[in-house]
Amino acid sequence: MFYHRTNEFLYPLRVACPDPKFASMLMEQLAGQNGELAAGMQYIIQGLKCKNAKIKDLLLDIGTEELNHMEMVAHMIELLVGEQTSTASPEEFAFQLLGGGGPLWINSMGSPFSSTYVDAVGDIAADLQSNIAAEFRAKAVYERLYRQAKDPAVQDFLKFLISREEAHANLFRQALDEVQGQGVLKDFVDTSYSRQYYDLSQPRQSYRLT
């Protein structure tokens, strides 16, 4: 399924100078709940059991790209950590002690990656809805990281990833439009109870289900 070409990334990676503190923040998008590893695993497992050939191809293509993003984020973390020194900061020391100066399958808080981050229920409509939300969540985290980044080269890299999250969200939305009436969308809103909105707030709000 895969061919690996060393250092052949989708976007050039560089940093002006090491920044271990930001590297620890970027770990969130390597192995966190909304990170690249979770996205790649989610789309690939969905694609492997998808019966729609066109959408199966889409899921596997995007899943493969997410694994490339994962590798890029991992390499960016390595660049931001920099060379090991005897006068390491707390962030540098953590990377050196636990990962030998490189990334690990942990998030920014040090929690290990979990397969519970992967959403795949086997329903084409439900999975595509979940994927759209996943791309938006990833975009939100990358935008927060962008605002924290001080290195223009790192900001450029984050802008690239933000743009790719938007592209994936649009592709999944287009795919969802093509499966209307399938999966959980079949006979959707077909009873009177499906059309009722229970206003349980006091005072009452103006929102109504149409």
Looking up residue 80, the CATH number of its domain turns out to be 1.20.1260.10
Which residues does 176 contact at the CB level (< 8 Å), separation at least 6? Answer: 125, 128, 129, 132
188 belongs to a structural domain:
yes
> Is 57 annotated to bind ligand?
yes
Looking at the structure of the chain, the number of domains it has is 1
Residue pLDDT tens, the chain, 210 long: 777 777 779 999 999 999 988 999 999 999 999 999 999 999 999 999 999 999 999 999 999 999 999 999 999 999 998 876 655 566 656 666 666 767 889 999 889 999 999 999 999 999 999 999 999 999 999 999 999 999 999 999 999 999 999 999 999 999 999 999 999 998 877 788 887 878 888 777 667 666
| Calpha distance 15→154 (Å, rounded) | 6
69 belongs to a structural domain:
yes
9 belongs to a structural domain:
no
pTM of this structure: 0.90
32 belongs to a structural domain:
yes
1 belongs to a structural domain:
no
| Calpha distance 185→171 (Å, rounded) | 19
87 belongs to a structural domain:
yes
Which residues does 128 contact at the CB level (< 8 Å), separation at least 6? Answer: 55, 172, 175, 176, 179
201 belongs to a structural domain:
no
**Exposure string (b/e) for 110-132, b if CB count within 10 Å is 16 or more?**
eeebeeebbbbeebbbebbbbbb
Q: What is the domain range of residue 95? A: 20-195
80 belongs to a structural domain:
yes
> Is 75 annotated to bind ligand?
no
CA distances to 43, 47, 60, 137, 152 from 166, in Å: 16, 20, 17, 11, 21
> Is 135 annotated to bind ligand?
yes
